[in-house]
């Protein structure tokens, strides 16, 4: 891998887009490496994933404009489909994914963060969908996930005007869950990831599936999805361990992901 770095800290995976000189912009190679890395992550030994960008200036400053500038209609559609395929894989990854947004999250960078379950930002983070100022639309899911996250009116305003949203406003909009000084960002993200990883992994994965799948259907169908995931937890060792410990007024043994 030239532009994507992956490491593990206990049960937490850390994926870093490592193209700092280009502010971690997404070109075809970065997208390919990102997809290959996500495909390689195993839920057997990874319970949470953090995605971030190299350096302190930029999470991802967007898709690579120099690559996009000469695309034909067909090539543009294919490039958008490639990005959407990768980001959808991140969104559907069974384990929770945290975006550690350490600076610019513009265009494809904002869209990448939106494909994650939780966004935590540094104080210097800036979010925007500036595509209409370049003669295009958001192409990696921004027209869909942004509206679902902050509401359709504000999403339209951001996209139509190309306006930038700083970290404090992003927090007030619900675009991010928390804001920290740059030097504390990864430490806080790791704390959150480790807190998630301490809980029953199968139950966490089931909760993610119930939320994500349920948000796409009517409430009656969503409740049925929840019931299926809820019921499935009762055949796991971790459920029996935790509930027995609760009834016996003691701490459960560490969860074994079975």
CA distance 194 to 201: 12
What's phi and psi for 55, nearest 5 deg?
85, -175
Q: Which two tokens stand for residue 208?
A: 């993610």
DSSP H or E segment with residue 133: none
CA distance 8 to 42: 12
DSSP H or E segment with residue 128: strand 126-128
CA distance 202 to 207: 9
Buried b (16+ CB within 10 A) or exposed e, 210-236: beebbeeeeeeebeebbeebeeebeeb
CA distance 255 to 139: 40
Q: Are strands 165-166 and 126-128 parallel, antiparallel or unpaired?
A: antiparallel
Catalytic residue among 35, 131, 187, 235: 131
Residue 35 appears among annotated catalytic residues: no
CA distance 166 to 182: 14
Residue 111 appears among annotated catalytic residues: yes
Catalytic residue among 111, 169, 187, 237: 111
CA-wise closest residue to 14 among 179, 187, 145, 184: 187
Q: Which residues are catalytic?
A: 111, 131
């Amino acid at each position: 891998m030239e532009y994507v770095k992956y490491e593990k800290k206990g049960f937490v995976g850390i994926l870093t887009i490592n193209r700092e000189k280009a502010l971690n912009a997404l070109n075809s190679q970065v997208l390919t490496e990102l997809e290959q890395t996500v495909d390689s992550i195993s839920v057997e030994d990874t319970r949470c994933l953090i995605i971030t960008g190299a350096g302190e200036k930029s999470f991802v400053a967007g898709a690579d404009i120099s690559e996009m500038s000469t695309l034909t209609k067909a090539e543009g559609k294919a490039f958008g489909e490639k990005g959407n395929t990768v980001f959808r894989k991140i969104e559907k990854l069974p384990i929770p994914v945290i975006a550690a947004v350490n600076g610019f999250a513009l265009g494809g960078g904002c869209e990448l963060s939106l494909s994650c379950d939780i966004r935590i930002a540094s104080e210097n983070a800036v979010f925007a969908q500036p595509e209409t100022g370049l003669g295009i639309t958001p192409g990696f899911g921004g027209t869909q996930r942004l509206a679902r996250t902050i509401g359709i009116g504000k999403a339209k305003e951001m996209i139509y005007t190309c306006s930038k949203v700083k970290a404090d406003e992003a927090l007030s909009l619900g675009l991010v869950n928390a804001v920290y000084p740059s030097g504390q960002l990864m430490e806080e993200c790791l704390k959150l990831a480790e807190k998630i990883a301490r809980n029953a992994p199968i139950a966490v994965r089931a909760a993610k599936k119930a939320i994500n799948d349920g948000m796409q259907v009517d409430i009656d169908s969503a409740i049925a999805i929840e019931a299926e995931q809820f019921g499935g937890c009762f055949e796991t060792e971790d459920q029996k361990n935790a509930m027995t410990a609760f009834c016996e007024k003691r701490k459960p043994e560490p969860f074994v992901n079975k």
